[in-house]
Amino acid sequence: MSTNNLVSLDREISKLSQEKFRVFSDFAPAGDQPKAIKELTSGLYKGAHNKVLLGVTGSGKTFTMANVIENLQRPTLILAPNKTLAAQLFGEMRSFFPNNAVEYFVSYYDYYQPEAYVPRTDTYIEKDASINEQIDRMRHSATRALIERRDVIVVASVSCIFGIGSLETYSLMTIYINKKENLKQEKLVRKLVELQYRRNQGPLERGDFRVMGDIIEIFPAHSEDRAWRISMFGDEVEEISEFDPLTGQKTEDLNDIKIYPNSHYVTPRPTIQQAIKEIKKELNETLKVLNSKNKLLESQRLEERTTFDIEMMNTTGSCAGIENYSRYLTGRLPGQPPPTLFEYLPNDGLLIVDESHVAVPQLRGMYRGDFKRKSTLAEFGFRLPSCVDNRPLKFEEWDQMRPQTIFVSATPGDWELGLTDGVFTEQLIRPTGLVDPLCILRPVDNQVDDLIAECMEAASTNHRVLVTTLTKRMAEDLTEYMHESGINVRYMHSDVDTLERIEIIRDLRLGVFDVLIGINLLREGLDIPECNTVAILDADKEGFLRSRTSLIQTIGRAARNINGKVLLYADKLTGSLEAAIDETERRRNKQRTYNSENNIKPETIRKSVEDILKDAYEVDSDKSTVKAEDEYIGGNLDSHIKSLERKMKNAAAELEFENAAQIRDEIRKLQEKDLGFIQQTDIKSNLRPLGRSRSGVPGTRAKKNKTSKRKKNKI
């Protein structure tokens, strides 16, 4: 049966309600939005494969996307260039489509050190990774929704072009259980093990199952706080119910369930046996080649490592680094593209590439870096040559398989514009009437002291400041210097943990600090209406960070505030700087003319400060009367919540389910309370909200997570 037939079958079998896409918003399209929505919808209806939306910062591009999705009524994949923007888009789409399946699909690694070999120093680095269980659950929820529903929006990072396992295998291994059907308990247990669920007689966690007499309890891979209980009477399924795995209390009776694999990489036993035969065949051929070249060390190393992997697969069905044998496990031919999330998206789906000027070059570069690393491993006998087929999609493959696409950016790239012969939909007029910020050139001499004075002025009026530098070290040093000058400041760059970046942005908006210093992460998509000043240091240093595109994107961060201005510290007017200023002035003049003709008074965008990932977690229907404490240990809410989580797990282990449920409810109330500590900083009393972020603090140096734990072996 073909993959498309499997997808169709799954959707027919699905019992989930199929909602129509419907946008919920307090506002109607305004400014350039109605025209943009009409042009994009009309073009896609007429069969246009590519559309470009050139929308300035704050013009409501996300709202335009949402309305186009509502008009087309198609499953949609939104591709964002990084996790921070993906999380922001996810939160916004959840608010626009509360009755539809809005899912989140990004890399589930909190930390990832790929396997590598450095010939120059003869150093082998083992793979080391830390998986975020919550994001893993959300990935499972995303693929489940794509298989079962039509009203699906998946917000993904570029990790969606990496292999996740075959849709055909994933669908075939799904277990369907109906009430009153005949089913042997032993057979179900074997199937669950094949799906990589773990048998556990203690407290259930996601991906676990347990057997108690005639009852089997399963905590599905996609669920956060709901598990399934199957009651057997002999070989008949007597009852299926949903229950709270913490308390054991039943919440709903079910007629049927679909149990999806606990891993996207799950493989049936017959496929593993066939793969082992193919792996042995390639091993023998590769050993002959290595021996003929007198590479005896490489030959011995490859034989030992591969033989061990084969034994592990034969015994347990898996091995460390099993993804390196994906060519055989997925039945693909050499050079064929790997199975990715795009296989789960229906043929009539819609792709939206947000901040396309960044995302498209990222997609181009993914394969090349991966191939270089893998080919080195194969050359020196650490992996079989077929390991290079465990890879992301090549750009050409992605371009060929993508469905109808909208490229969204304030500065679209040449490639996107080339696809549409330079034709694009322009969205310059903001619904709020805001105009692009005023650009002010300042000399480089005394730029730091001048910046400090500007930051103090902004802080006195309860506004925020974004500062961009050229290097990480410069950002950290400037943070320390400004802190010593009495400014509440933090820094943020690529070495700061992904989820911690989200907390830093949240704390900036709440007023925990006034100034955020960064490099490249302060460009695309950051939604900070409280920011009225953006400072670009060394703006005349021509290069990637000071290109026309980068400058326009950075300037846009001040476009959400009526008093927005951009300070450009430069001694000379470079081509990129002049082009960025001219384009900003062109947009500014057009916006001011529109406001004048339509009697529109600009006003700052008002947006509540919320946890970006708040809606990512399923809502627990259980309620209790426990009142969250107003005071907590040392004023550190984060530590207090972690302490309560430990108490909750201990209570569950002691079978004190009522106490565990009360502690859980207290945790959730504290988390909700944390979202609204103080929505406005009290300038006069210098009273500031308590923040959650712990990174970017003056006097600290950010380091990549777990770099000290890399396993390096001299060969």
pLDDT in tens, 119-153: 989 899 888 878 788 889 999 999 999 999 999 99
CATH of 175-259, one of 3.30.2060.10, 3.40.50.720, 3.40.50.10860, 3.40.50.80: 3.30.2060.10
The span from the CA of 589 to the CA of 161, in Å, is 41
Class of domain 432-597: alpha beta
pLDDT in tens, 489-498: 999 988 887 6
User: Is pLDDT of 1 > 80?
Assistant: no
Of the chain, the end-to-end C-alpha distance in Å amounts to 47
User: Is pLDDT of 620 > 70?
Assistant: no
- CATH topology of 175-259 equal to that of 432-597? no
- In the chain, pLDDT over 70 holds for what percent of residues? 85
The span from the CA of 584 to the CA of 424, in Å, is 18
Phi/psi-derived region of residue 655, left when phi > 0, alpha when psi is between -120 and 50, beta in every other case: left
Three-state secondary structure along 53-115?
Answer: EEECCCCCHHHHHHHHHHHHCCCEEEECCCHHHHHHHHHHHHHHCCCCEEEEECCCEEEEECC
Query: Which of 614, 623, 615 is CA-nearest to residue 674?
Result: 614
User: Is pLDDT of 97 > 70?
Assistant: yes
The pTM for the full model equals 0.78
Strand partners, 232: 237
Residue 549 has phi, psi (to 5 degrees) of -60, -45
Residues 6+ apart with CB under 8 A from 138: 103, 104, 105, 616
DSSP state letters, 320-376: TTGGGGHHHHTTPPTTPPPP-GGGTS-TT-EEEEETHHHHHHHHHHHHHHHHHHHHH
Amino acid at 572: K
Q: CATH 3.30.420.240: does it fit domain 3-16+31-168+266-426?
A: no
The span from the CA of 585 to the CA of 565, in Å, is 12
Domain map (residue ranges) of the chain: 3-16+31-168+266-426, 175-259, 432-597, 614-674
Residue-wise over 645-657: b if at least 16 C-beta within 10 A, else e? eeebbebbeeeee
Half-sphere exposure of 423 (CA within 13 A, CB side): 11
Residue 661 has phi, psi (to 5 degrees) of -65, -40
Q: In 3-state terms, what secondary structure has residue 384?
A: coil
The span from the CA of 644 to the CA of 666, in Å, is 8
pLDDT in tens, 322-378: 889 999 988 889 989 999 999 999 999 999 999 999 999 999 988 888 888 999 999
Token output for 459: 């802080």
Amino acid at 326: S
Q: Which residue has the higher pLDDT, 19 or 250?
A: 250
Q: In 3-state terms, what secondary structure has residue 577?
A: helix
pLDDT in tens, 287-317: 999 999 999 999 999 999 999 999 999 988 8
The span from the CA of 542 to the CA of 550, in Å, is 11
Residues 6+ apart with CB under 8 A from 233: 214
User: Is pLDDT of 710 > 50?
Assistant: no
Tell me the residue length of the chain.
715
